[in-house]
Structure 1
Amino acid sequence: MRVIQVVGSIDNKAAGPSYSVTGLAEALCARGVDAEIFSTSVSKSGDERGNSRVFSTDFSNIPGVRRLLFSKSLAAAIEVGAAAGAVLHAHGLWLMPNIYPGTSALRHRCPLVTSPRGMLGKEALQFSARKKQMFWMLAQRRVLMRSDCLHATSMEECEAIWARGILRPVAIVPNGVDIPPDHENARHSKRSDAAGESRTVLYLGRLHAKKGVDTLLQAWAKLQSEFPAWRLRIVGPLEGPQHLELRKLAGMLRLDRVTFENALFGDDKQDAYREAELFVLPTLNENFGMVIAEALASGTPIVTTKGAPWQGVVDNACGWWVDHGADSIAGSMASAMMLPRPELRRMGSRGRAWMSRDFSWTKVAANMEQVYKWTLGEAERPESVVLPGEAN
């Protein structure tokens, strides 16, 4: 079986698909599936890296149009794969690489799976709403309706898909997460129990308006005087106007012990998770929330909002899942920050065990492989696939 994963770009290491799409492809390959990634880049042409092929974009000198990532070479490669009977799996919406698989799948009658990646959520649709409405009418809706199956990482995302009138089968399969090795030894080497040692609350992710970092700053304003031993790290790409607005808000609120730091990757990101005693994601909307899984895999307890599908942090006693708002977030953070370090570590250990049990890439790849086989007519409908009207 050959599966072509199509995504606009995996260049931005801070973006979720750069992690989740590559992780899925690698895990499928480990199971013997011929899985490739087709993506675009404005800076590369014809680049091949393992199971990934990168295609150059067209119209790169036309502002606005270039953002849609037109690529004749990508479209042609998808055509060849579709003609040979590959399963096409498109990731994301609102770009031409998200449209090409639908066109090829219809022409060659090969299976098409589409992962909206949270882009049909109510809050996500409010950003650049007019452009998305136009793209929806011109092309995006037809592609989704042509899909043999859509892929959602949570039941909440599945319901968002159906709410848009896309009444197609949906496979509910979470993203996988890497479990860091030598967890406990690495954690204790990064953290001190000495009296007076600074303790850390971490936010790590994009500084997008939907992430609710402004609400986190408002919550910190309510806590900073009560918890002088704690500091707040805001880690994310320092680009565009959003981080400047957040810095301005921090100044207006007269916040102490708050740092804004550029995005971290690899070992540096892992160290940030390990050094933190609490991770906070005050998001308005997430289809999954990859940073939550990463923090839990690193043994760090969580405070997040009901905009993220993570009630499991309560069920598994490794965090707080609360309404969005400065008061509720501050209250949960205070509950966490008052706990002794050993108790926070026990919570973190429970979260790590949960990630190892239910979110391993091996398990995720096995579930997705069954979905692909079903779309090919080679297997019965997997338990992960739900039909409109079946969900409670």
Structure 2
Amino acid sequence: MTATPPNRRYAALLAFLRSQTAGGLALIIAAAVALVWSNASGADQYFRLLATPLWILPVDGWVNDGLMVLFFLTVGLEIRREMTDGQLSSFRQIAAPGFAALGGMVVPALIFAGFNHADPARLRGWAVPVATDIAFALAALSVLGRRVPIALKLFLTALAIIDDLGAIVVIALFYTARLDLPALLAACMVCAVLYGLNRAGVRSVWAYAVGGVLLWACVLRSGVHPTIAGVALAFVVPMDDTGDRMEAGLGHWVTWMVLPLFGLANAGLRLGGLSPADFGTPVMLGVAVGLVAGKPIGVFGAIWLSVRLGWVRMPAGLTWPRLFGAALLCGIGFTMSLFIGDLGFHGTPIQPEVKLAVFTGSVISAVLGLVWLAFTAPANGTDTPARGDRRRRQGHGRPS
């Protein structure tokens, strides 16, 4: 495999950051439209449209089980590219965001379980607050412009990529209702054939696209959530010009169609009947507190502890206040949290609670993170490192 030149990798990463920011803004607008539509005079038409059967799936099913495969494919390609020759290609690079991502998944899950342990039906939503919405978080960071250094964006991106990988594993392991073993075997055979094409030197994007459609159909029938097909496809396509062309070709579609349609299909929530009691249910508290408090505690606590123990070095170009600001923004769990909430509670009375909690927790996390960074980040985007940081950068002493 030919290594990607460093300047090309950097350009690709900057393009990814810009696309995620744009996608986050488009997602916010689409979600706002859904909220207005679902509470306007045409609300019934909104919900009927989503439930309208369209061949083998309803409209919202085509969005969540079909189009979102493209989103997971781009996430998988980005994860694989970064693992191959990017930010996640060595233990030294992956360690700090890896520990942070792990802590940011475990603590919110424990908080949700603490509020809902008495009810197995509610406990199914334990994974809702574990994910960070990279598009939404980067869109929020864009508000501060040049006051946010590229190092903070890169760290947050790496953390969110690892976080996405963890969410994908959670979906595959814990949100599979049943297994159709022949269909699952067929999916594995399709993956093996596509990997064989890769090893044989086949570089046609269309060959992998056709194979991907077949893989999606097999995974859909197997009982594993069909979006896993997108991740599986990402790990068998050649990571050279073929993978680059596939990622570039999908980027605009995901940014301007898939994410907005997802927001439009999943952000609808009737607000008219809400009362103060609705904000105190165990599910509401588990998700909202998990996002607003659990995420920053887990993310910041894990990286602080790992640095104190000498397991990792302080990420270059960052300070503790900035890392805490990033940890606060990790509580923005919009896309993946809504997605997991739909998997766990689709069509149940709990689903509106989950949506309300995700909205509330994500907005509070965004506001807290932006306010914190606005007051702690200098206007020129550079910091004077603390004495301990200066000593470490000069090679004196161990991380503390």
Say yes or no: TM over 0.5: no
Compare relative contact order (CA 8 Å, sep 6+) and give the higher one, 1 or 2.
2
Structure with greater proportional helix content: 2
Structure with greater proportional strand content: 1
TM-score by length of 2: 0.28
TM-score by length of 1: 0.28
